[in-house]
Structure 1
Amino acid sequence: MSDIHEGRCLCGELSYSVTGEPARVIVCHCRFCQRATGSTGMVDAIFPEATFVQRTGTPLVHRHLSQGSGKEVRVHFCGRCGGRTHLTFDAIPGVVGIYAGTFDDPHWFDRSGAPHIFADEAPPGTFFPADTDIFPKGLRESDGSPATAQRYAAPVRS
């Protein structure tokens, strides 16, 4: 399997590649991610910025203040089709968060065991997997200390 993974926006005007495995995968259920994807949340594959290459097009950028960190999140999207491809964060500089569904093969990386964050904002009926860290809010408390996760022996539903 190739170490280079490619993706694109809906119309293909924006394309990118990343090299290697994600440094981390997070499943976020916050309202921002729900609005950004039009779904119940987002699978965010986090890569070192140095492994990300914008192959074609120049994304437009929407700046948003994160409810979790209070810092700016930048949403990179296509000016033609509106498709979002990736995020950059003031709270965690030097990384790129890829909207997992924009990969040409969105299933190439392992997302099992990925922590679920902002679980208290997940729509009713959302299932959370067993033996996975489930955070009611973000990964960190407002003071920057690590948040405490919940874990269940069997899948649970919000």
Structure 2
Amino acid sequence: FRLQKKGQGPPPGVDPMALRAAADHLLAAIGAGTVAACHDLSHGGLAVAAAEMALGGDLGADLKTTAMDPMRWDVQLFSESNGRWLVEVRKDRYEKFGHLMEGTPATFLGTTGGTSLHLAKGRQWTSLALSVMRKAWGETIPRQVVVT
């Protein structure tokens, strides 16, 4: 709602033409080999996408949301929306990626590396070791299911 400056009512609609243009740019960037990994933000938002990418690639990240739209941090982290992606681009391909995505809004959030996922906005931050995340993810259902 806030991204589209709406206070209440039905969820904002998706602009199919803008989504198509953004997807076409992203597909061109993937085809050109500039994208190392990509995850949509439609289920769980930025924090969930970052966690799933970190666990899937066994690689931490340091992401700062300060440059994103000025909204509450929890909204930045968990806002689910269509047509937004978290994209990992290798440093040596960043410029080419930028050219391929020209005309599509994009924000640099940080870098990958290490063994933790670190998310920050100003003085607010959270950091979790991948090993802790993997343990929580892997043990959740077995702890909840009782077999008799």
> TM-score, normalized by length of structure 1?
0.29
Which of the pair has the greater relative contact order for Cα pairs under 8 Å at 6+ separation? 2
Q: Between Structure 1 and Structure 2, which shows a larger proportion of helix residues?
A: 2
